[in-house]
């Protein structure tokens, strides 16, 4: 932290906290002010940082084109943007040193995309996949390994009837990123009360009836089989659900309102008002609070 007019907090991976000086305007005059070397380096190169940010925050930013909930995906897209910007800066400097006109930002990206899309052969894709594959360099996840062992012990060679399959829901919804598939709660996850709630866009048409679709995710959770296989194999297409699960999962069956709309609060009747037949209180009209008190008083000894 460095105290300027206000506290300045800085985080660096290669700066120095060795004391130095920076020029600041004090009472209309430029004077040297003690400051860490980190601050001096920032003041010297902040113009380049601003230019880099301007190039990255333009309409060609990959990070700003996608919205994701995973923070590590945002970091990856940010690093990808920085890589593209640095490549453009290096390429522009190379063109200048060879006495050539520097390329436009859009022209550089267009040429870069054409080169990336030029990899259209199966052998080239296989070579890239083999070079970037991390299966042989990293250990498997313990949770995935345990789930694989349990799946092998269960005997996953049992195949679901071919009439039952997963299809995407045709329902769509307007979102910030455009039109996307509507997702509903998975039936198996809902019965098992999986937290947080799991949603999926896939359903089984054979088990569905009209618009009442059976949404099932194709993901195994907590060492169990996939919800699709649990529904069809363990629960016999939904007909063999245990009574304990059905009792713990109570659905609300509310009858439709006879008078849809906003309910109005009952207004307390004034002493001069007369009860009318057909009111909310029945044939006798509204019941006065004083009458209730008299009835309760008469019941007491």
Instruction: State how far the alpha carbon of 271 is from the alpha carbons of 208, 292, 299, in Å.
Output: 59, 15, 24
Q: Could you tell me the pLDDT band of residue 133, with boundaries at 50, 70 and 90?
A: low
pLDDT band at 273 (very low <50, low <70, confident <90, very high): low
What is the pLDDT, as a whole number, of residue 251? 53
Give the pLDDT score at 116. 78
Q: Is the pLDDT of residue 190 over 70?
A: yes
Q: Residue 59 has what pLDDT?
A: 64
Judge contact between 217 and 224, C-beta under 8 A: no
Overall average pLDDT of the 211-215 stretch: 88
Q: Tens of pLDDT along 34-55?
A: 888 888 777 777 766 666 666 6
Q: Which range, of 5-14, 157-166, 245-254, averages the lowest pLDDT?
A: 245-254
* Distance in angstroms (rounded) separating the CA atoms of residues 175 and 169: 16
The pLDDT tens digits for 285-297 are 444 444 444 443 4
- What pLDDT, on a 0 to 100 scale, did the predictor assign at position 262? 53
Q: Summarize the confidence of residues 72-78 as an average pLDDT.
A: 87
| % of the chain residues with pLDDT over 70 | 66
Residue 228 in contact with residue 214, Cβ under 8 Å? no
Cβ 225 vs Cβ 239: under 8 Å: no
Per the prediction, the chain carries an average pLDDT of 73
- Does 204 have pLDDT greater than 90? yes
Q: Do 79 and 29 contact (CB within 8 A), yes or no? A: no
Sorting pLDDT into bands at 50, 70 and 90, what band is 207? very high
6-33: average pLDDT: 78
Handedness of CA 138, 142, 144, 148 (dihedral sign): positive
pLDDT of 284 over the 70 cut: no
């Amino acid at each position: 932290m460095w105290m300027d007019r206000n506290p300045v907090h800085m985080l660096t991976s290669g700066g120095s906290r060795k004391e130095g000086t920076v020029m600041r305007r004090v009472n209309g005059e430029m004077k040297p002010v003690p400051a860490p070397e980190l601050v001096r380096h920032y003041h010297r190169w902040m113009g380049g940082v601003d230019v880099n940010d301007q190039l990255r925050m333009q309409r060609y930013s990959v990070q700003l084109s996608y919205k994701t909930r995973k923070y590590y995906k945002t970091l990856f897209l940010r690093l990808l943007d920085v890589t593209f910007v640095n490549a453009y800066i290096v390429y522009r400097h190379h063109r200048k040193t060879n006495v050539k006109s520097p390329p436009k930002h859009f022209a550089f990206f267009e040429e870069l995309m054409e080169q990336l899309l030029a990899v259209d052969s199966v052998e080239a894709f296989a070579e890239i996949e083999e070079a970037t594959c991390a299966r042989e360099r990293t250990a498997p996840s313990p949770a995935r390994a345990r789930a694989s062992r349990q799946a092998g012990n269960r005997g996953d060679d049992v195949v679901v009837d071919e009439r039952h399959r997963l299809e995407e829901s045709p329902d769509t919804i307007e979102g910030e990123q455009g039109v996307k598939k509507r997702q509903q709660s998975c039936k198996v996850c809902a019965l098992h009360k999986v937290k947080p709630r799991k949603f999926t866009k896939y359903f089984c048409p054979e088990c569905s009836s009209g618009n009442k679709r059976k949404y099932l995710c194709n993901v195994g959770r907590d060492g169990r089989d996939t919800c699709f296989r649990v529904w069809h194999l363990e629960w016999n297409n939904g007909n063999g659900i245990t009574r304990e699960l059905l009792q713990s999962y109570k659905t609300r069956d509310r009858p439709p309102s006879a008078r849809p709309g906003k309910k109005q609060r009952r207004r307390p009747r004034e002493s001069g008002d007369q009860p009318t037949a057909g009111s909310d209180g029945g044939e006798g009209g509204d019941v006065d609070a004083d009458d209730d008190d008299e009835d309760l008083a008469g019941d007491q000894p």
